[in-house]
Chain A
Amino acid sequence: MTDPLLKLAGLGKAYGQVDAAKDINLDVADGEFVTFLGPSGSGKTTTLMMVAGFTEPTAGGISLNGQPLDPIPVWKRDIGMVFQHYALFPHMTVAQNIAFPLEMRGVAKSDRRSRVEEAMEMVGLAGFGQRLPKELSGGQQQRVALARAMVFKPRLLLMDEPLGALDKKLREHMQLEIMHLHKNMGTTVLYVTHDQEEALVMSDRIAVFSNGRIEQVGSPRELYEAPQTKFVADFIGETNFIAGRAQGCNGAGASVRGLNGQLGAPLQEGADAVLAVRPERLKVMNGTGAAGGNTLTGTVKELIYLGQSRKAIIALEDGTEVAALEQAAQAEATALETGSQATLSFRAEDARILADV
């Protein structure tokens, strides 16, 4: 890997005794789209604010292009930002808003106008220059905020839950648009969201935050298929957990309650552990037959029709509820009924064994 564009090294922010962010280490390559994902209060926004310069770190440091950012004030960092509620200046027109960063940088008026036009075209708002922000829809305001943050060609673009205020349809549309912009402009993006679906769709890599720390960094596929902690497995997508003790740890695999899976991270023999397996990785059979390795039996508690798929909630003997997802055609073939017995099976490579904390 070439030198990273952005480097967070041991970054932390403490408010008195409380660590809002602790020991954040992350390298972001030039042109990469990295998402900070986590529940509210997990430290993702605090970390973003430290990169922007609004919050001063109490530990560690940030460097951009190999230069330490800490002594540089916000207005000289040359980092674009899209705020949660856009923060468009209400007393300025769309064109004035987008021209603002150029004006602050002393760009000549004629040059300014052409770059503003260009930016408005880029976000599909050509001809809206004389409107006021309040005369635009939420999606249009979002685009203006994007144009304003990109018009001065910043080295890095930060986005703080930029789509949180939009409805689902528009949000999905804007996700694609932001991705296209990112591809076309080649800008490096740090994106904050608590919406795991959004993170999976948009990111090159995701950093999952929990309690002020990064739990795991990886591509969407890595995080979904190979979570290293129970928190990550739980936070991204839906997962079934079967609790027990780790046995037969051999470096790559282990078992919990006789069920085999891959080890997410090194684990001590006999430690409290969970076996995590995604609902769509479970094969459902009617009845109690076909016993073998990696099977579970239980009673069908609920059948949920989801259109293209069907979810079966199956209660195991010890009361643990396990969800299994089947595509519609497969579900019809299985012909389950509420109250009847069912057998679930899965491949060891589809299950992860993780420390239970």
Chain B
Amino acid sequence: MTAGNRTLWLLIPAVLLIGVCFLYPVSWLLQRSVSEPVWGLQNYIAIFSKSIYLGVLWNTVAIAGATTILCALIGFPVAYSMVHARPWIRKLLIFVVLIPFWTSILVRSFAWLVILQRGGIINDILVGIGMIAEPLDIVYNRFGVLLGMVQVLLPFMVFPLYSVMARIDGSFFRAATNLGATPVRAFFRVYLPLCLPGLGTGAMLVFIIALGYFITPALLGGRGDIMIAQLIFERIDEFGDWPLASALAIVLLIGTGLLFAIIKGVSKLRRGRI
């Protein structure tokens, strides 16, 4: 048996797993999306022409985009502190960032409900101390969805950023100030550009994972915050509409794939130039 053969044998379990659990169902979905009720692209045309579906597609992109931006804004200072903190503070920060990871997504989302709902902790306190007369609506809307999603997805931004920042030598910043840059200019001209690879990886991870989010927007969002995964579930669960749900799933898959390819292409171009 040659070495090449042996490698192929080792790949069999993975190939089987992907084939049975991913490729087969996806091709089954693809087939249903173009063959029912009759052969043709009618399901895709519906998705891209009816305003309710377009609204959901827009919601999905907007929520994923806002989540990504918020994760970047919150994650950047967290990662920076982790790199520059004393070892024990760094360990503590890593632990705090990771806690949501170890908690079930359901528990986490219900915990937010307990905190945010009209009779929840925050509203009780604010009403109790007389700051507000009526409870605030801070859940079952976009705010609740973003809060829940940012909390869960933050580690995907923090850790790529952290690993890139940890490798940036302090002498770059010192050199910039020595050459006449104020600390602010040194940050934007030298430090931030050097962080871009980490920021890019983090943003890609957060955005792509956020695109397919289901439980958090379902529990913490309102009617106006329905994302594509919820729509797919709803079409099947309530209407048994497999063809349209299949078409939506394929749109999500292709959209995500395209995005991934574009980001990869752009970063390759940049690396080629730089």
Contact = CB atoms under 8 A, between A and B. Distances in A.
A75 B178 contact: yes
Interface in B139-196: 169, 171-172, 174-183, 185-186, 189-190, 193-194, 196
Contacts of A84: 171
B199 to A, nearest CB: 13
Contact of A104 (B171, B179, B193, B196): B179
Nearest to A98: B179
B129 interface: no
A79 interface: yes
Interface in B229-259: none
Interface residues of B, number: 21
Interface in A66-89: 73-81, 83-85, 87, 89
Contacts of B189: 100
Instruction: Please report whether the interface of chain B is mostly helix, strand, loop or mixed according to DSSP.
Output: helix
Contacts of B14: none
Contact of B179 (A53, A73, A101): A101
A68 to B, nearest CB: 19
A84 B175 CA distance: 11
B274 interface: yes
A83 B177 CA distance: 13
A87 B174 contact: yes
Given A91-B194, A91-B274, A132-B274, A75 B172 contact: no
B169 A75 contact: no
Interface string A81-120: 1011101011100000000110011000000000000000
A89 B190 contact: yes
Contacts of A80: 178-179
Nearest to A151: B179
B180 A54 contact: no
Nearest to A100: B179
Contacts of B174: 54, 74, 83, 87
Nearest to B194: A91
Contacts, number: 61
Given A74-B177, A132-B274, A87 B182 contact: no
A323 to B, nearest CB: 40
Nearest to B189: A100
A148 interface: yes
Given A87-B169, A91-B193, A81 B175 contact: yes
B171 A148 contact: no
Contacts of B176: 89, 100
A37 B180 CA distance: 28
Contacts of B171: 83-85, 87
Nearest to B173: A87
A105 B180 contact: yes
A104 B190 contact: no
B221 to A, nearest CB: 40
Contacts of B274: 91, 132
Contacts of B172: 87, 89
Contacts of A132: 274
A33 interface: no
15 contacts: A75-B178, A77-B178, A80-B178, A83-B174, A84-B171, A85-B171, A87-B171, A87-B175, A89-B176, A89-B194, A90-B194, A91-B274, A101-B179, A104-B185, A132-B274
